[in-house]
Amino acid sequence: MTRFATGWAIFQGLLIEALPFLLLGVSIAGLARWLVPQSTWIKRLPRHPLLAPVVGALLGFALPACECGNVPVARRLLASGAPLGTGFGFLFAAPVLNPIVLASTWAAFPDQTWLLWGRPMGAFLIAIGLSALLGLLPESSLLASALLEERRLSQPLSRVGLLERRSGLVGLNINDSEPRLEAVPLRPAELLQHSTREFLSLLTLLVLGCALAAAVQTWLPRSWLLALGSGPTVSVLALMLLALVVSVCSSVDAFLALGFAAQVTPGALLAFLLLGPVVDLKLAGLFTVLLSTRAIAITAVAASLLVLLIGQWVNLVLL
């Protein structure tokens, strides 16, 4: 009963912490859905393999949402026809490159200036690397099927045929090279209905992810991981595993890290703050509305390797 009570408390904490940001993300995505048909900003996003993820990452400064809130916004971008690099750059970098997370990192570690620039720079590099890697895959094996179909509706017929869209009208101009966005904005009632359905769908996945994270935390004591915090390499691996298990929101993870910062190496501390916003048990379900199972596995492995390399380099420089 004690373990069950502990697990239930952890589950409630994770869910209550993530819910406001999920709601914020769905609200931003709904607003984007309403504004996109009336603007051309999606069309003007760069499609260069390097510039696109850079712009997507920089969008994180304007949207104060953690990793849970980023998923519906990134999905809206991709469904509206934004370049893959822009959507992925935002998805992976914005959980760190937003004012709330930057301010919380500064508040938790005001005396460690290297961490104040190291964390956003590391998140930026990880986002660029993951975007470049995922960009090598074809969309058909990269995106979730529902998102792929919705995205194809916004593509010109010169790029995506009617059979690939699975819907559309015969007789449209096939020489149109611009992405086709919805011509008529949604009415408020339709927008509310769609946003509510999206929120409930994501909420179900979030609950499953929080339950999984709570179960693992209950049966895997953090003390086991922190006991490995002195070795240059083992400490980085241990804190990466801790970030995966704890699944804490990026807006408050710096304060959690402050509790064990003195017991681990600098590279391990940075690894904890970098990996959690990109890969954790809480995100496992949410990513299924964006990526295929293969793409999620590639993202997890690649992000872990990049964080390990960054952590190792920091230990080499600072130790």
Q: What is the pLDDT of residues 24-49, one digit of tens each?
A: 767 776 666 566 544 566 777 888 87
* pLDDT > 60? residue 283: yes
Q: What is the pTM of this model?
A: 0.75
The two structure tokens encoding residue 146: 């529902």
* pLDDT > 90? residue 310: yes
- pLDDT band (50, 70, 90) for residue 219: confident
CA atoms within 13 Å, Cβ hemisphere of 219: 5
The confidence score (pLDDT) of residue 130 equals 95
In the numeric block, the tokens 């699944």 are attached to 247
The amino acid at residue 11 is F
In the numeric block, the tokens 């990026």 are attached to 250
Give dist(CA 289, CA 200) in Å, integer: 13
Give dist(CA 17, CA 50) in Å, integer: 34
Residues 48 and 90: beta-carbon distance below 8 Å = no
Residue scoring higher pLDDT (212 or 166)? 212
Residues 127 and 152: beta-carbon distance below 8 Å = no
- pLDDT band (50, 70, 90) for residue 95: confident
Give dist(CA 200, CA 271) in Å, integer: 32
* pLDDT > 60? residue 185: no
The three-state secondary structure class of 233 is: coil
pLDDT above 70 as % of the chain: 73
Residue scoring higher pLDDT (117 or 6)? 117
The confidence score (pLDDT) of residue 183 equals 43
Q: Mind listing the pLDDT tens digit for each residue in 47-85?
A: 887 898 899 888 877 766 667 778 888 888 888 888 899
Residues 98 and 123: beta-carbon distance below 8 Å = no
Helices (H), the chain: 2-35, 51-58, 67-79, 84-93, 99-108, 113-134, 139-142, 145-152, 162-165, 188-219, 222-226, 234-246, 253-258, 266-275, 283-286, 293-318
Least confident of 128-137, 154-163, 175-184, 203-212: 175-184
Find which of 97-106, 160-169, 287-296 is predicted with most confidence, using mean pLDDT.
287-296
- pLDDT band (50, 70, 90) for residue 128: very high
- pLDDT band (50, 70, 90) for residue 154: low
